[in-house]
Amino acid sequence: EAGVAQSPRYKIIEKRQSVAFWCNPISGHATLYWYQQILGQGPKLLIQFQNNGVVDDSQLPKDRFSAERLKGVDSTLKIQPAKLEDSAVYLCASSLVFRPLNRGAGTGELFFGEGSRLTVL
């Protein structure tokens, strides 16, 4: 089974430029997440999709970040214009629906891609 695919792996841009990251989740996973991980910190959720609808984008800086998942499969995260503090690894993850009372449905763990490392100069 193919894992979560992300591209590009690395990107270096100047501040005020734009950048886009792409993610293809595991087939059949309805839930897709974008996390931002700054060096030395834990991942921070930017946006969560359930199929093609947004479930949580409370920590997404909407003045510069946008994300879409038009057909409920792959997703794109865009930053425009980029700031120095946006330098981070952007992790995409996918999962099945979480059912903590039903172990037969799986643990609901998130499967992560390898990440896209962004450096803003």
Partner 1 sequence: AQKITQTQPGMFVQEKEAVTLDCTYDTSDPSYGLFWYKQPSSGEMIFLIYQGSYDQQNATEGRYSLNFQKARKSANLVISASQLGDSAMYFCAMRGRRLGGSEKLVFGKGTKLTVNP
Residues lying near partner 1 in the complex (CB under 8 A): 31, 33, 41-45, 48, 55-56, 89, 91, 93, 97-101, 103, 107-112, 114-115, 117
**Contact criterion met (CB below 8 Å) for 93 and 104:** no
* Beta carbons within 8 Å of 92's beta carbon, 6+ residues apart: 4, 6, 21, 23, 25, 32, 33, 34, 35, 75, 77, 112, 113, 115, 116
* Beta carbons within 8 Å of 103's beta carbon, 6+ residues apart: none
Instruction: Indicate the residue among 3 and 16 with the shorter CB distance to partner 1.
Output: 3
Instruction: Indicate the residue among 81 and 96 with the shorter CB distance to partner 1.
Output: 96
From the CB of 44, what's the least distance to partner 1, in Å?
8
How is residue 109 annotated by DSSP? -
From the CB of 26, what's the least distance to partner 1, in Å?
13
Instruction: Indicate the residue among 18 and 107 with the shorter CB distance to partner 1.
Output: 107
From the CB of 79, what's the least distance to partner 1, in Å?
19
From the CB of 15, what's the least distance to partner 1, in Å?
23
Q: How far apart are CA 86 and CA 73, in angstroms?
A: 25
Instruction: Indicate the residue among 62 and 103 with the shorter CB distance to partner 1.
Output: 103
